[in-house]
A and B are shown apart, each in its own frame.
Chain A
Amino acid sequence: MALVLTEEQQLLRDTATQFFQERLPIANLRKLRDTKDATGFDRAIWKEMSDLGFAGIMISEKYGGTDFGPVGLGLVLEQAGRTLAASPLVSTVLLCGSAVQLAGNATQRQDILSAIAAGDRIMALALEEGPHHNPTRIATRAEASGQAFRISGKKTFVLDGHVADQLIVAARTSGNENDRAGITLFLVDPKSEGVKITRTLMVDSRNAADISFDNVSVPATAVLGSVDGGIDVLEQVLDIARIGISAEMLGLVQEVFDTTLAYLKERKQFGKVIGSFQALQHRMAVLFAEIELCRSVVLDALSALEARRNDVPLIASLAKARLSDTATLMTNEGLQMHGGMGMTDQFDVGLFMKRARVATASFGDGNFHRDRYASLEGY
């Protein structure tokens, strides 16, 4: 029994639904965009989310978390996806919180996990170096010098990178670009000398940054996990993020489907509602089927994480590929079926399309994950 929600989970979903609709509706994203907000999300509301336990949802009670687990987090993310809620859930909770949970020593866990759960710390993972997700293509170097490391290199598409209180940087301590071995994770203070952060304005009005490191000195205690062994942690963390973003995209596609369906029942042409035309009905029925499959896949992926099943990498790639492709399809179809109004900024469907594309590019699109799936399956 893993594909049906428990009562406790349904309750959490209802809380999340209400929260995002009341506190972070789409109007909130529009406001952040139109006022060119420097943070890119609402810090006060992030504090509210933390008080509700969303920030500490994967963190054990020992560090002030709620320990609801991956299924709980997925339910929250799905609801966040329905209102395009901007928050540091992905950067801070999915990526960095998980990395510290998995690889951190006692001191690091105590310090960081409690701060995340309390909503007091924003974190960002500096990983990507090119326009396509590739967790092993790391040219950024960290040279050991005495008791310290010196990091040099350039990172891009660092989610919430411009507001992070602390960074996790993936750098190469040995080997060549594209080697799996030789990658090390470092905790870096963004205010360190030699760190240059440039906010990049993305099409989805969310946050990302380009960050360059010029001979940035970090102490040996800044290493997260083992030297040269970062890829194992990274892959687990990335799978959590992939599944989490898939859950967010599930909410996104469901919302676009629901609003498109409502529009088809209201918009009239040729003297009847356009939803009476079979050409549109069949497209909606096909999309309905695609989304039903998406829901099963996301639920299974979340429960795979929760049960620590050994097929997590496989199901993570299945979920991210399917949700990425369906999000693209649904937002394209949704816009088309809204006709000219879909092209206007006044209607929300365009905002969903933009977010869908950025979510798709985050941590591997369909192409990346089909290739990975095939490799994992041995063909």
Chain B
Amino acid sequence: MEALEKFRQETRAWLGENCPPSMRTPMTSEDETVWGGRNAKYANPEAKLWLDRMAERGWTAPTWPKAYGGGGLSKEENQVLQQEMRRIKARPPLSSFGIWMLGPALLEFANEEQKKEHLPRIVRGEIRWCQGYSEPGAGSDLAGLQTKCEDKGDHYLVNGQKIWTSYADKADWIFCLVRTDPTKKHDGISFLLFDMATPGVEARPISMISGASPFCETFFTDVKVPKGNLVGELNKGWTIAKRLLQHEREMISGMGLGGAGSGAGLGGLEQAAKDYYGEQNGRVASPSLRDHITRQKMDGKAFALTMQRSAEEAKAGQGPGAASSIFKYYGTELNKRRFELLLEIMGTKGLGWEGEGFTGDEITVTRSWLRSKGNSIEGGTSEVQLNVVSKRVLSLPD
């Protein structure tokens, strides 16, 4: 306990000295998110400074081993670090699929050489990663993927197409599921890493309903990949893929609890309702809308309590309870409902696209409403999640 308190004091002092003032203010747009990479862009030079200072200590990936550039912190120390960062409202120094998804998988499944090559560069934000999972013919049935990977003796040859590859047009490397045995389904998949600058790789952004293009179609034509880039055993990639999906689902399920673009700029649901709809005697003027808001708030609170309970159970050594199987489903559905409600509250002010007549916050909510529709599709649809609960938790038969 004493050691932890000492760590807190040191951390607080270090953050006080090293977190630049502008990095303690809320981001005003998504463009300010720091993704790193070879072509990293910094809207603000202090963002680069903040990243470098944090990376130097390994605190962009606080719990990874020091040997691979991480912070080497215990869970408890990391909690302290996160608390102290929240205390001064510090921005995350780096947003990275490498840290959120690939890193944990490499730590578990990669060989020493691969860890040494990739992990430190992820920590420093030098390489930006993307995820090559879905294909036009393999969405919910991900294991049906067909991107072909052939053993050509001294290298692999990859041919095929991925879709919904987030930021493939901006990424430096890809972690990719490929088919190495066409005669089997789950047991014919391998996990491969390669450089997006390799000849034969092409990424084309897809225009989405929100007006943004964060996803790409990614084409591979005779892409030569060194054999050392295979992670784990040949044809055993599905195990790694599943583990990665867990990390992804956890990341997505937290969305229902608010965060960027959740309407925070409007002061929350009830304040927005008072502003856009009006109030009578301190109440939201529409009793029906007031009731909808309350249902939303109650469900949000109940969901947050369930995530808390699950964390407490895990801490008490009761393992990840059955409750965690509902997080992706419930969190994303809750988030979608929240945006529908915000839009109802804003009326025609929630239906602007761009330009005059709407505030930046309003446009952000509208665009985020459109974006939120994808929450219950990406990372396993709600229907797939319900299948998982039915089969694995409730043991209902096929």
Give the B-binding residues of A (Cβ under 8 A): 1-4, 261, 264-265, 272-273, 275-276, 278, 280-282, 284-286, 288-289, 292-297, 299-300, 318, 321-322, 367, 370-371, 373-375, 377-379
Q: Cβ of A374 and Cβ of B309 under 8 Å apart?
A: no
Q: Cβ of B383 and Cβ of A296 under 8 Å apart?
A: no
Question: Which 7 A/B pairs are nearest by Cβ-Cβ distance?
Answer: A281-B390, A379-B270, A3-B309, A285-B389, A296-B305, A289-B326, A285-B386
SS class, residues of chain B in contact with chain A: helix
Q: How many contacting A-B pairs (Cβ < 8 A)?
A: 125
If the complex has contacts A273-B397, A292-B322, A370-B291, are A297 and B383 also in contact, measured as CB distance less than 8 A?
no
Find the B residue at minimum CB distance from A1. Answer: B312
Q: Cβ of B312 and Cβ of A282 under 8 Å apart?
A: no
Contacting A at CB under 8 A, from B371-398, are: 383, 385-387, 389-391, 393-398
Q: Which residues of B contact A374 (CB under 8 A)?
A: 270, 283-284, 290-291, 293-294
Give Cα distance in the complex from A243 to B308, angstroms: 20
Contacting A at CB under 8 A, from B194-210, are: none
| A–B pairs, 16, beta carbons within 8 Å | A265-B395, A275-B397, A276-B397, A278-B387, A278-B390, A282-B387, A285-B387, A288-B326, A292-B326, A295-B323, A296-B306, A318-B298, A322-B298, A378-B282, A379-B273, A379-B284
Q: How many interface residues does B have (CB within 8 Å)? A: 45
Q: Cβ of A289 and Cβ of B309 under 8 Å apart?
A: no
Q: Cβ of A289 and Cβ of B294 under 8 Å apart?
A: no
Contact of B330 among A280, A293, A371, A375 (CB under 8 A): A293
Q: Cβ of A377 and Cβ of B270 under 8 Å apart?
A: yes
B303 at the interface (CB under 8 A from A): yes
Tell me how far the C-beta of B277 lies from the nearest C-beta in chain A, rounded to whole angstroms. 11
B13 at the interface (CB under 8 A from A): no
Q: Please, what's the 1-or-0 string for B289-304, where 1 marks a CB less than 8 Å from any CB in chain A? A: 0110111011101110
Give Cα distance in the complex from A299 to B389, angstroms: 23
Q: Cβ of A377 and Cβ of B397 under 8 Å apart?
A: no
SS class, residues of chain A in contact with chain B: helix
Q: Cβ of A379 and Cβ of B293 under 8 Å apart?
A: yes
Tell me how far the C-beta of A212 lies from the nearest C-beta in chain B, rounded to whole angstroms. 34
Contact of B302 among A4, A284, A293 (CB under 8 A): A293
Q: Cβ of B383 and Cβ of A276 under 8 Å apart?
A: no
Q: Cβ of B302 and Cβ of A318 under 8 Å apart?
A: yes
Q: Which residues of B contact A295 (CB under 8 A)?
A: 306, 309, 323
Q: Cβ of A282 and Cβ of B305 under 8 Å apart?
A: no
Q: Which residues of A contact B191 (CB under 8 A)?
A: none
B318 at the interface (CB under 8 A from A): yes
Q: Cβ of A370 and Cβ of B274 under 8 Å apart?
A: no
Q: Please, what's the 1-or-0 string for B253-278, where 1 marks a CB less than 8 Å from any CB in chain A? A: 00000000000000000110110000
Give Cα distance in the complex from A82 to B386, angstroms: 26
Tell me how far the C-beta of B227 lies from the nearest C-beta in chain A, rounded to whole angstroms. 42
| Most B CB within 10 A of own CB, among A1, A265, A275, A370 | A370
Give Cα distance in the complex from A4 to B273, angstroms: 36
Give Cα distance in the complex from A374 to B329, angstroms: 27
Q: Cβ of B390 and Cβ of A284 under 8 Å apart?
A: yes
Q: Cβ of A285 and Cβ of B390 under 8 Å apart?
A: yes
B316 at the interface (CB under 8 A from A): yes
Q: Cβ of A377 and Cβ of B297 under 8 Å apart?
A: yes
Q: Which residues of B contact A371 (CB under 8 A)?
A: 291, 294
Q: Cβ of B397 and Cβ of A4 under 8 Å apart?
A: no
If the complex has contacts A261-B394, A318-B298, A379-B284, are A286 and B386 also in contact, measured as CB distance less than 8 A?
yes
Tell me how far the C-beta of A364 lies from the nearest C-beta in chain B, rounded to whole angstroms. 13
Find the A residue at minimum CB distance from B326. Answer: A289
Give Cα distance in the complex from A286 to B325, angstroms: 11
Contact of A282 among B282, B302, B390 (CB under 8 A): B390
Tell me how far the C-beta of B294 lies from the nearest C-beta in chain A, rounded to whole angstroms. 4
